[in-house]
Chain A
Amino acid sequence: MEQIEIEKAFETRELTISMGPQHPATHGVLRLVLTLDGETVIKCTPHVGYLHRGIEKLGENRTYFSALPLTDRLDYISSMNNNVGYVNAVEKLFGLEAPERAKFIRTMVAEMGRISSHIIWLGTHVLDIGATTPFLYAFRERERILDLFETLCGARLTVSYPRIGGVRNDISQEFLDELYEFVLEFPDRMDDYETLVTENRVWKKRTVGIGIISAEEAVNWGLTGGMLRGSGVNYDVRKHAPYDAYDKVEFDIPLGKNGDCYDRYLVRMGEMRQANRIIKQCIEKLPAGHVMADSPKFTLPPKDMVLKDMEHLIHQFVLITKGPVAPEGEIYSATEVPKGELGFYFVSDCTGKPYRMRVRAPSFVHASILPKLCEGGFVADVIANIGTIDIVLGECDR
């Protein structure tokens, strides 16, 4: 009797709130419209597009060379991987092969990019859920990688270091020594993080059994990367269609079982250790030779020759103004970036610019599964779910 009276006195109703686009836990300008019944999320509608810059349209109006810096701005915390994805796609279209040394260097820097991206994910994901300490440590390691990038090419974030047909410049011995030192230390650092987080009771309470996706669903939704492998599906572009030097190094694919936030966490932690293993092998196996393919139709002549010789100057001028002329055809090329599968689809019509450039962004696909993860859960789990999909809105909105 009393209970009914209380319910009458406090009439409850659904509440619709807008989370974001300027919310610290949404990792960028993601907006979620949540319909709540108390603490439970009934409906979740993601709104994206706040960071849309029309990269596909811009790419279609630029030469293959000058569209490269645009890809830095896709997933801006792992620009190296985007560059690698782009140059691999363009090389496939041109039928161009990078020299062996360049391939190893690209593999190495791409894995460095993977570590720096995963480390940001780790720091922010645990910070969102309430652990501040790993965040501070994580940025220490990331800083070292960014410093190494600076030594390598002068830029820390928007690197544009890989180029069509190779890489921009050769690496120095100091860089290699410094990187090797980092590689040897990194497993200890990983142990530190794992001590702080992996068996932490609060962490497990907040992530185990949260945001479950079954293997079939994950494939059907087109998820890739850690999101897919957390559900136990063994699909990794680096193994299924190896590019660069991935077929010459040994590494394992960490897999989850339950497809919840905790398993995805374990998978990404495993990936960082594997990335470290790949970098180590790349340093040890690094072959000698050139870092740029010698293919006058598609690659720029050496700068010192341009300054001395008229033929080379003309050649450079034509390539820069008209762009490298691609054969007619269309290709799709995918690479494994920290977020998942980054694909480029090019349609060429025999000019220096792509007729159609399409970017298949993993974050875009992953954001679309948010309603499925969040509905029926608590508001606090929405935060865990946003963290676990490892979203970067620059890539999602393009």
Chain B
Amino acid sequence: MEPLQIAEKIREKFRDEVLEAKEFREQAAVTLKKDRILEICMYLHDDSDLCFDYLVDLCGADYAGKKEKRFDVVYHLYSIKCCHAIRLKAEVPETNPEIDSVTAVWAGANWHERECYDMFGITFNGHPDLRRILMPEDWEGHPLRKDYPVKGPEKEWSGFVEVLDRTKRFKDFEWHE
């Protein structure tokens, strides 16, 4: 199916959920409200014409100061059977950022959602094991947010402070000659 046709099909089925459908370089993106995302994904996965069996990618994006709702959770779907693709974007607000997990539809979403939680601080309801994945578990802040400094925070990470402390102690140690 053509990308815009797919977008139209989603709009027909979920009229109130679709906010916008756009095409750029032959790729269609459908912007959605976040509340019924799991239902929409299930429909896309199970419908015999659409058959989106493969979740290519799931990531977040931060539009601080650019959009009314700060975050987007972006889903890239592909159908290996029908050879067509679509991009879904669910809008998530800054206060209390949470969205339903799609791990029930695609098992591969598990780590992608963990990464999104780690990098943007978006909570995925119904995720089986929502922990930080790339950053240490006691890390403060979410690195891919736009207000997070590129050089990192002023305060060193506690794990690194510990290492520095230890090296200093070894340095001060008086070795027997």
Measured CB to CB, the residues of A under 8 A from B are: 48-49, 52, 54, 56-58, 61, 92-93, 95, 217, 219-223, 233, 235, 240, 329-332, 334, 341, 343, 345, 347, 349, 356, 358, 360, 364-365, 367-368, 397-398
Residues of A within 8 A of B132 (CB): 49
Question: Chain A residue with minimal CB distance to B89?
Answer: A330
Question: Chain B residue with minimal CB distance to A223?
Answer: B108
B106 touches A331 (CB 8 A): no
Q: Does B158 contact A (CB under 8 A)?
A: no
Q: Does B59 contact A (CB under 8 A)?
A: yes
B25 touches A358 (CB 8 A): no
Task: Annotate B111-152 by CB proximity to A: 1 below 8 A, 0 otherwise.
Answer: 110010001000000000000111110000001100010100
Measured CB to CB, the residues of B under 8 A from A are: 24-25, 27, 29, 53-57, 59, 61-62, 66, 74, 76, 80, 83, 85, 87, 106-112, 115, 119, 132-136, 143-144, 148, 150
A332-B87, A345-B57 are contacts. A49–B24 as well, Cβ < 8 Å? Answer: no
Residues of A within 8 A of B108 (CB): 220-223, 365, 368
Which one of B54, B55, B76, B110 has the greatest number of beta carbons of chain A within 10 Å? B54
Residues of A within 8 A of B62 (CB): 356
B144 touches A56 (CB 8 A): yes
Residues of A within 8 A of B144 (CB): 56-57
A57-B143, A221-B107 are contacts. A329–B57 as well, Cβ < 8 Å? Answer: no
Question: Chain B residue with minimal CB distance to A344?
Answer: B57
C-alpha spacing A356/B109, complex, angstroms: 20
A57-B143, A235-B80 are contacts. A329–B110 as well, Cβ < 8 Å? Answer: no
> Can you list 24 pairs linking A and B with CB atoms under 8 Å apart?
A48-B133, A49-B132, A49-B134, A49-B135, A56-B119, A57-B144, A219-B54, A219-B80, A220-B106, A221-B106, A222-B56, A223-B108, A235-B54, A331-B24, A332-B56, A345-B57, A345-B76, A356-B61, A358-B74, A360-B76, A364-B115, A365-B111, A365-B112, A368-B108
B135 touches A240 (CB 8 A): no
C-alpha spacing A220/B85, complex, angstroms: 16
B111 touches A360 (CB 8 A): no
Residues of B within 8 A of A349 (CB): 66
Question: Chain B residue with minimal CB distance to A347?
Answer: B61
A330 touches B59 (CB 8 A): no
Question: Chain B residue with minimal CB distance to A343?
Answer: B57
Q: How far is the CB of A350 from chain B (nearest CB, A)?
A: 12
Question: Chain A residue with minimal CB distance to B114?
Answer: A368
Residues of B within 8 A of A233 (CB): 80
Q: How far is the CB of A49 from chain B (nearest CB, A)?
A: 4
